[in-house]
């Protein structure tokens, strides 16, 4: 099938190139008109925190979007907020934006409606003032309005910092964009240099890079198209570029290398491209299926941004395979021997088969397989041990680099202003039937507020039952069960803000950080409460944090199982063996566990934090999922490349030991080159300033480096030497099924490995 496809592309090469140009034009149009991506984080409706939030929004909100705002922090090292000169400079700095039509209101310590608010807007040391600027616009216009308004605020004698939801969200967007640009700027030149060293020809080296760029354009266009039907996270742009560039160059490397080898052996252009598609084309198709299978595991996490990353990643992998099977072979047919033009004399020739470094290494390993295997496996297991003390927490503002004003302002806000370091637990008491304010229910709710207030770490509980401290349980029962129109104004206002058709809202305020273990203990304690015929639901930062983590953990076994099963089937259809896919799965899990251990050691434990420029923090629960999904699929590139070449030699000679050494010799150089390119691309994303992208880039680089060196060069030969001829075993019925569906390896032209 693949050989026939190669001949078809040869005969219709110009038409194939024309179709590719049309696809590229459509991709460019889709990219230019794509618009903005969201956060891809619409919560699954079955999460408790999501149910509670929906009840609050449906029964206590007016239906209008909440007002966007930003905060300004004015500070002085030697003057206090109450100093007249301090106030004068604040008022002067705010004057240019007071009459701006984009501003709804400005709140300062000097126009506060109460002394308590004025105190909250003054730092604990009295040297900084907090100003809240309300905007008339909503996202995404609010980000542009903030940038314009912030530029107008200047105070010659005071420091000024902007922070708050709008500046922080804007900082994430702009930093992700700059991270993407930096990664592209660094990775493309480095990749070109590596390709030149691998191919020794400018033309041959330029082809994979060109396909990589086409794939990125197509993948990003597909992502923006996907965003028209579902919410796609802005992280998708970085992930699509990372995956697209890596797999496109990897696949193109296999195809171009095989085509050049076939031409060098004397084949015509048509025969060369037919054999290339029968080997390299087949390999990248299976590899694409394996990568797509890995990424599809993220689709099990609907309700988080992982699902959009999985879908976008599958789109870009499909784009890479499409161009690798159409545009690239068509262009190779046109170029023919000219693919070797502009050769570099400094790049030496490949060593003669059987005499190279890889053959010697494989032979050395297979003479002592157990002696080599034990320390190698021990190293991988030891490298994975830091993962045993993994701590998960959703990404927060610590993901941003400390140099940004919004991050610095937020740190000052939390540290210096009273009440800003507190965590709120929004407790929703829901009644499926009837009025929430019956005599019995009022008493139950009153008792609940007192029990929550007694929990260690809770400072207070804000509710309708704290409006008047002089009232007791019976007083509230009598008051709230009577005619509400006769209630005091303060009580009526509280009812409007906290009592809905079937719910009552109360807010527990804690002095513990939202993602801390102490806050999670408080959450468990509140959720353990029962209330007669009412249901107690909790939302807020800690509740969302815990619910999302549990959501991901609960779905991980089925997602991992699905990825392993599909990958196993794909590899069986490729190799016709039941043993080799099992080996690949186990070794993949080992290399992934080692990269997970490195991830925890670096980003959670804080090693290399100063060198890499990040704040040590808990690992976002999405990062291990993303790493697993990408690495598990991408490592199949090397498995396909190495095992197919070994299998060819085994079928030819029947000598397992010789086949392993010869297969590694013929594919080792290409594996090393492909891995070097992948590592370069991933490390370029490791330069990102957003910690989530940085951790993914570095984690992927470590995983690929381990997989292409320790695993493929040492562990695989040792294991295959120990297993012997059983490497290729499968029951006859299964082997017949594999051959019957046309994916067996009956002809030499089809079975020859990519090398």
Look at residue 351 in the predicted model and tell me its pLDDT.
47
What percent of the chain has pLDDT above 70? Answer: 93
Read off the pLDDT of residues 620-675 as tens digits, 9 standing for 90 and up.
998 999 889 888 877 776 777 777 778 777 777 878 888 888 878 777 777 888 88
Residue scoring higher pLDDT (285 or 522):
522
CA-closest candidate to residue 249, choices 634, 734, 507, 513? 634
Read off the pLDDT of residues 678-737 as tens digits, 9 standing for 90 and up.
888 889 988 899 998 899 999 989 988 888 888 888 888 888 888 888 888 888 888 777
Phi, psi (rounded to 5 degrees) for 571 = -70, -35
| Secondary structure letter of residue 351 according to DSSP | P
For 146-169, what is the mean pLDDT?
92
- Residues 6 or more apart in contact with residue 56 via CB below 8 angstroms: 426, 428, 500, 503, 505, 539
Read off the pLDDT of residues 586-600 as tens digits, 9 standing for 90 and up.
888 888 899 999 999
CA-closest candidate to residue 463, choices 502, 423, 512, 425? 425
Is the per-residue pLDDT at 138 higher than 90?
no
Position 85 confidence tier, pLDDT thresholds 50, 70, 90 = very high
Read off the pLDDT of residues 361-391 as tens digits, 9 standing for 90 and up.
778 888 888 888 899 999 999 999 999 999 9
Read off the pLDDT of residues 58-80 as tens digits, 9 standing for 90 and up.
888 654 556 789 999 999 999 99
Position 449 confidence tier, pLDDT thresholds 50, 70, 90 = very high
Is the per-residue pLDDT at 91 higher than 60?
yes
Look at residue 145 in the predicted model and tell me its pLDDT.
92
Read off the pLDDT of residues 316-356 as tens digits, 9 standing for 90 and up.
999 999 999 999 999 999 988 888 888 777 554 454 444 56
Look at residue 497 in the predicted model and tell me its pLDDT.
81
Position 752 confidence tier, pLDDT thresholds 50, 70, 90 = very low
Residue scoring higher pLDDT (584 or 103):
103
Structure tokens given for 341: 């033009």
| Secondary structure letter of residue 354 according to DSSP | T
This prediction has a pTM of 0.84
461-468, Cβ contacts within 8 angstroms, sequence gap of 24 or more: 461/506, 461/507, 461/508, 461/509, 462/506, 462/507, 462/509, 463/494, 463/498, 463/504, 463/505, 463/506, 463/507, 464/491, 464/494, 464/495, 464/498, 464/499, 464/504, 464/506, 465/506, 467/491, 467/494
Residue-averaged pLDDT of the chain: 85
Look at residue 81 in the predicted model and tell me its pLDDT.
93
69, 135 Cβ separation under 8 angstroms: yes
Read off the pLDDT of residues 552-583 as tens digits, 9 standing for 90 and up.
999 999 999 998 888 888 788 877 888 888 88
Position 232 confidence tier, pLDDT thresholds 50, 70, 90 = confident
Is the per-residue pLDDT at 357 higher than 50?
yes
Lowest mean pLDDT among 147-151, 230-234, 309-313: 230-234
**Domains assigned to the chain:** 1-44+200-349 (1.20.1640.10), 68-168 (3.30.70.1430), 351-383+552-755 (1.20.1640.10), 405-539 (no CATH)
Look at residue 304 in the predicted model and tell me its pLDDT.
80
Residue scoring higher pLDDT (240 or 93):
93
Look at residue 61 in the predicted model and tell me its pLDDT.
63
Look at residue 747 in the predicted model and tell me its pLDDT.
41
728, 574 Cβ separation under 8 angstroms: no
Strand order in the sheet with 535-539: 458-462, 503-510, 423-430, 535-539
- Helices and strands in the chain: count of H runs, count of E runs: 30, 8
Choose from 86-95, 303-312, 468-477, 648-657 the range with maximum mean pLDDT.
86-95
Dihedral sign for Cα atoms in the order 478, 481, 482, 485: positive
- Give me the torsion for CA of 129, 135, 141, 147, rounded to 10°: -30
């Amino acid at each position: 099938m693949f050989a026939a496809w190669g001949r078809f592309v040869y005969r219709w090469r110009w038409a194939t190139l024309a179709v590719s140009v049309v696809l590229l034009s459509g991709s460019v149009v889709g990219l230019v008109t794509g618009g903005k991506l969201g956060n891809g984080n619409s919560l699954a409706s079955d999460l408790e925190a999501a149910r509670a939030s929906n009840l609050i929004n449906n029964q206590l909100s007016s239906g209008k979007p909440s007002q966007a705002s930003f905060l300004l922090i004015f500070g002085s090292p030697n003057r206090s907020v109450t100093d007249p000169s301090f106030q004068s400079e604040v008022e002067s700095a705010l004057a240019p934006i007071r009459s701006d039509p984009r501003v709804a209101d400005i709140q300062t310590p000097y126009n506060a409606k109460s002394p308590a608010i004025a105190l909250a807007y003054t730092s604990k040391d009295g040297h900084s003032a907090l100003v809240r600027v309300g905007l008339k616009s909503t996202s995404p216009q609010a980000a542009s309005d903030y940038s314009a308004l912030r530029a107008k605020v200047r105070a010659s004698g005071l420091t000024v910092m902007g922070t708050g939801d709008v500046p922080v969200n804007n900082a994430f967007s702009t930093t992700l964009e700059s991270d993407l640009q930096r990664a592209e700027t660094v990775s493309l030149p480095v990749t070109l240099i590596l390709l030149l060293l691998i191919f020794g020809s400018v033309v041959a080296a330029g082809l994979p890079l060109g396909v990589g760029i086409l794939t990125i354009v197509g993948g990003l266009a597909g992502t923006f198209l996907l965003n028209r039907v579902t919410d796609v996270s802005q992280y998708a742009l970085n992930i699509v570029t990372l995956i697209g560039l890596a797999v496109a160059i990897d696949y193109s490397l296999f195809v171009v290398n095989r085509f050049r080898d076939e031409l060098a052996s004397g084949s015509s252009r048509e025969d060369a491209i037919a054999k290339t598609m029968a080997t390299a084309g087949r390999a990248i198709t299976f590899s694409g299926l394996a990568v797509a299978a890995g990424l599809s595991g993220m689709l099990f996490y609907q309700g988080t941004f992982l699902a959009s990353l999985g879908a976008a990643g599958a789109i870009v992998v499909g784009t890479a395979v499409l161009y690798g099977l159409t545009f690239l072979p068509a262009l190779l047919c046109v170029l023919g021997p000219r693919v070797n033009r502009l050769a570099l004399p400094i790049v030496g020739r490949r060593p003669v088969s059987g005499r190279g470094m890889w053959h010697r290494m494989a032979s050395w390993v297979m003479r002592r397989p157990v002696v080599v295997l034990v320390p190698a496996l021990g190293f991988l297991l030891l490298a994975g041990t830091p993962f045993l003390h993994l701590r998960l927490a959703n990404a927060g503002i610590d993901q941003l680099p400390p140099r940004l004003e919004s991050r610095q302002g937020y740190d000052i806000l939390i540290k210096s202003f009273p009440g800003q370091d507190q965590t709120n637990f929004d407790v929703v008491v829901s009644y499926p039937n009837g009025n929430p304010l019956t005599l019995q229910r009022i008493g139950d709710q009153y008792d609940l507020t007192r029990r929550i207030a007694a929990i260690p770490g809770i400072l207070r509980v804000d509710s309708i039952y704290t409006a008047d401290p002089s009232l007791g349980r019976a007083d509230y029962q009598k008051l709230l069960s009577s005619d509400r129109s006769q209630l005091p104004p303060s009580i009526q206002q509280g009812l409007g803000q906290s009592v809905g058709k079937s719910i009552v809202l109360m807010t527990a305020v804690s002095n513990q950080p939202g993602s801390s273990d102490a806050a999670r203990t408080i959450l468990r304690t509140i959720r353990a409460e029962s209330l007669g015929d009412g249901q107690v639901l909790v939302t807020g930062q800690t509740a969302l944090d815990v619910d999302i983590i549990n959501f991901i953990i609960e779905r991980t076994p089925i997602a991992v199982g699905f990825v392993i099963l599909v990958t196993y089937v794909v590899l069986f259809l490729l190799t016709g063996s039941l043993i080799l896919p099992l080996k690949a799965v186990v070794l993949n899990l080992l290399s992934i566990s080692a990269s997970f251990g490195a991830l925890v050691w670096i980003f959670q434990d804080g090693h290399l934090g100063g060198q890499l420029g990040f704040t040590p923090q808990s690992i976002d629960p999405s990062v291990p999922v993303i790493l697993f999904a990408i690495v598990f699929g991408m490592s199949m590139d090397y498995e396909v490349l190495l095992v197919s070449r070994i299998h060819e030699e085994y079928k030819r000679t029947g000598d397992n030991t010789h086949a392993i050494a010869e297969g590694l010799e013929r594919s080792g150089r290409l594996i090393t080159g492909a891995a070097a390119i992948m590592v370069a691309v991933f490390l370029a994303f490791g330069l990102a300033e957003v910690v989530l992208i940085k951790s993914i880039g570095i984690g992927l680089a470590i995983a690929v480096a381990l997989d292409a060196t320790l695993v493929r060069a040492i562990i695989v030969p040792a294991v295959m030497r120990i297993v012997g001829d059983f490497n290729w075993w499968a029951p006859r019925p299964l082997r017949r099924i594999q051959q019957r569906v046309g994916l067996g390896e009956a002809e030499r032209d089809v079975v020859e490995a990519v090398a």
